Amino acid sequence: MSNLTPTLAELAIVACAEAWRGAGEIVATGVGPVPRLAASLAKSTHTPELLMTDGEAFLVEEPVPIGPRAYAHRHGTGYLPFSRFFDAAVWTGRRHAMVTPTQIDRFGQTNLSCLGGIYARPKVQMLGARGFPGNSIHHPNSMFIPAHSTRVFVDGEVDMVSSVGYNPARRTPGADFSSIDLRLIVTNLCVMDFGGADNAIRIVSLNPGVTLEEVRAATGFPLETVANIATTRLPDEGELAIIARLDPHNIRAGVIKGNPAAVRENV
């Protein structure tokens, strides 16, 4: 047994890595420290055939550590610039991205654009929809949420629909929605998927020390559950060593507030 105490961020990295298990030769894109480390961990362990970039334009066989790095030591094995990325990966469905939206609703629609009010005059302006509309309708997508709350998992519909989900009211007649494939949501409280009735979000596992009631109270819409809810698996020694190597500056420690331990003691 290891004397290392895994953090909640490290547990989340391992849980997020499962999104790419057995995915084959596709581009794994993790947006943000935890998703990026998760994709790198997946490639370094159970799914080595994944394609990854250095975060810019070069494909790499060895995942590049996050944070400041020496570009002289980059070992590119292929070239995938932005101009080719869409044809090679996005439009063909040969990519699986993990993102961190600001809002998610019960249909899996996400918001990265604005909060409150009408779209023309929002209370808070954010990044904009960016590539979410095209990404969400062409290839698999998963999500990581560091602070599970009703502000993120909202009642009703997200304030501005930035990505396509399973909402039947948003189906444009004649459009092809067959490629919508939402896979996994990992949060600081639990792991969820879209395996419920009519692609409803459901709880798959609870993080150590978290109760089902706590997750439901932190979610603005009803949640389904699998028949037997598991406890989210802790990282093993090998995974912790890989994560430490891929994040030498410990950027992961700042992702979840307070950098808590993976196993929470209920008092």
The angle formed by the CA atoms of residues 244, 250 and 252, to the nearest 5 degrees, is 95
pLDDT band at residue 4 under the 50/70/90 scheme? confident
Nearest to 205 by CA among 219, 220, 225, 223: 225
Say what the pLDDT of residue 52 is.
Answer: 86
pLDDT beyond 80 at 244: yes
- Residue tagged 């040969």 (tokens): 94
The 3-state DSSP class for residue 4 equals: coil
Q: What is the pLDDT of residues 116-144, one digit of tens each?
A: 877 777 888 877 777 777 787 888 999 99
Q: What is the pLDDT of residues 56-92, one digit of tens each?
A: 677 788 898 988 875 555 666 777 777 776 776 677 7
Burial of 267 (0-12, 13-18, 19+ CB in 10 A): exposed
pLDDT band at residue 2 under the 50/70/90 scheme? very low
Q: What is the pLDDT of residues 160-204, one digit of tens each?
A: 898 989 998 888 888 888 889 999 999 999 999 999 999 999 999
- Quickly list DSSP for 113-129: SEEEEETTEEEEE-S-S
CB 169 within 8 A of CB 106: no
Nearest to 249 by CA among 94, 43, 67, 19: 67
> For residue 117, which phi and psi values (nearest 5 degrees)?
65, -165
